[in-house]
Chains A and B, each alone.
Chain A
Amino acid sequence: MFKKKNLKAWLYLTPALLFLAVFMIYPLLDVVVYSFEEGYNSASQSYSGVGGFNFSYVLRDPYFLQALKNTFVIVLITVPVSTGLALLVALGLNSIGPLKKMFQTIYFLPYVTNTLAVGLVFMILFKKTAYSEGLVNLLLKLFGSPGVDFIDGPWWAKILVVCIYTVWIVMPFKVLILTSALASVDETYYKAARVDGTSKPRIFFRITLPMISPMLFYLIITGFIGAFKAYSDEVALFGTDLNAAGMNTIVGYVYDMLYGDSGGYPSFAAAAALILFAIVFTITCINLLVSRKHVYY
């Protein structure tokens, strides 16, 4: 089995494998161990028993359920919306001639902008203060609506801001990937389709979409994973006490359980992290299964 060539390959891989073992596999196993240790005390580093209590606690914790709900809403809204919008923008960019380069740059700017600066802009847009209503509310009032407090108001308003913020943050990268995917589709396919009198929608659905499907699929999978790991965007908007704002996410919950005010519960954190892992794993498997049918490589 182990031919000389193989041995050499393994030798080359060793540093990376060691690194992975120490920093990925060991912590992962540790998390699994933690999650089954009941009544763990971090001060004495002791525990009272082994079992599934941590999971049942987490699954009944209203904060966790809120975080679960928030995360799912964020995922289900931002992934399709950002991917769809990015596709529209990329199609637009691809079909304009002269100013294409300039618009490409403009659409990519958010990606290289500091997130804190973006957060600040969102504050100006949405936050109500003693001095200002926030730009969006001023606009809403123009149309006769009473306005709403987006940062400290009802849940739907806050999650709306989160979703808009997330879409705004993740779009530039998707636009970039999709514009290059579209540009790499050979022009002659379109010429052939034109000679045959193919309608615009049919060209899009039967030629363009299948051709860029690998990229689109890549964006959807990474989009799902990224959105499930949402945390920093929420902090940028609502501060670190996300439970109080009702805007916590699963990753936020894990963090709180470790280091937050309610912190010091690594077992609960580990259980929550494993639940998140199970969810992401399942969704990714479903994605892969669906892609087998619909993605052309």
Chain B
Amino acid sequence: MSPRTATATHRRGRKASAPPAPTATATTYREALREAHREAMRRDPRVFLMGEDVGRYGGAFAVSLGLLEEFGEDRVRDTPLSEAAFTGAGIGAAMRGMRPVVEIMTVNFSLLALDQVLNNAATLRHMSGGQLSVPLVIRMTTGAGRQLAAQHSHSLEGWYAHIPGLRVLAPATLEDARGMLWPALQDPDPVVIFEHGSLYNLSGHLPADPGPVDIERAAVRRSGTDVTLVAFGGTLGKALTAAESLAAQGISAEVVDLRVLRPLDDATILESVARTHRLVVVDEAWRTGSLAAEVSARVAEQAFFELDAHVERVGAVEVPVPYAQHLEEATLPQVPGIVEAARRAVGEDG
């Protein structure tokens, strides 16, 4: 097995940011998102934020805390409980030249706005023969793991990633939380950003003035030679922890953070598989018809002969996510399951 390249940051598991640079300041995922909004609203008067409780309350996850006071009610708009109407209003305002950021409290409630996202935002450019443009950013929290029970624990990134016409992002690091919003707002097409609920308190350091990040490519978060672990959003931390544990067992795992869920960056995944010849895809969603299924299919289609073992998937058990802690844990992908899958892939039982 080859030497390991895990950084100190990775060893701290959930602290997925770069090691502190001299000018770096301590921050959290939540604060990084807030700073991204602040920057966007300062730089571009067309940018405004709307959603349920984004203003007076400060955001259900406190992302927008203080922004109302700083930018006023026109630009930080508390909406009624009307997911379809305010998401559609974001679409209309975007078509008319504004750059709205619509916050939908969680992906679970986004189902009430799915009509607007699919039938309007994602569709209008093509259906109008290229006449209309919807430069809208929609942000929402996603995922399970906080004992919130089925109706507050869905992972539906794959549903959105299914839709042509959207760009779908899943920031899982401080850099991405800080850097994805601005390029998303520059995209003339609708962008959906998923923030996993377990990440808001992720802490680390960021440079005082970090530049934007790309919203095109997946990222190799840890290099390795024996097996590729593909993960994103809420499972990235678990994949990195699993890689650490595998390293202790002499197995060198490469961890690819998808970051961009649509359009998928096939090249980065395929390059990694060409190095490791083994693939484990980790996805908090139900396996059937999931992003893990899509990644597996693409590798099977495009790199079949690179594979030395069949693809392994680690996903959620196909039940509504239960409340009780032990049941929820059993439902979701966990580090030991990822480790086992990786061991199977490299032929070390598991």
A and B from one complex? no
Give A contacts to B, CB under 8 Å: none
